[in-house]
Chain A
Amino acid sequence: GAVVSQHPSWVICKSGTSVKIECRSLDFQATTMFWYRQFPKQSLMLMATSNEGSKATYEQGVEKDKFLINHASLTLSTLTVTSAHPEDSSFYICSAREWGRRETQYFGPGTRLLVL
Chain B
Amino acid sequence: AQKITQTQPGMFVQEKEAVTLDCTYDTSDPSYGLFWYKQPSSGEMIFLIYQGSYDQQNATEGRYSLNFQKARKSANLVISASQLGDSAMYFCAMRGRRDDKIIFGKGTRLHILP
Contacts and interface: CB of A to CB of B under 8 A. Distances in A.
A1 B99 CA distance: 24
A1 B50 CA distance: 14
Interface residues of A, number: 23
Interface string A85-105: 000000101010100001111
A contact patch SS: strand
A66 B101 CA distance: 21
Interface residues of B, number: 22
A15 to B, nearest CB: 24
A1 B44 CA distance: 15
Contacts of A97: 100
B84 interface: no
Contact of A43 (B42, B100, B101, B105): B105
Given A43-B91, A44-B91, A106 B47 contact: yes
Contact of B101 (A34, A38, A104, A110): A34
Contacts of B102: 34, 46, 95, 105
Interface in B37-60: 37, 42-45, 47, 50, 52
B103 interface: yes
Contacts of A107: 37, 44-45, 47
B33 A46 contact: no
Interface in B88-114: 91, 93, 95, 99-107
B68 interface: no
Contacts of A103: 33, 50, 52
Interface of B: 33, 35, 37, 42-45, 47, 50, 52, 91, 93, 95, 99-107
Interface of A: 1, 32, 34, 38, 42-46, 49, 91, 93, 95, 97, 102-107, 109-110, 112
Given A34-B102, A104-B50, 16 more contacts: A1-B47, A34-B101, A46-B101, A46-B102, A49-B100, A93-B43, A95-B102, A103-B33, A103-B50, A105-B47, A105-B93, A107-B37, A109-B42, A109-B43, A110-B43, A110-B44
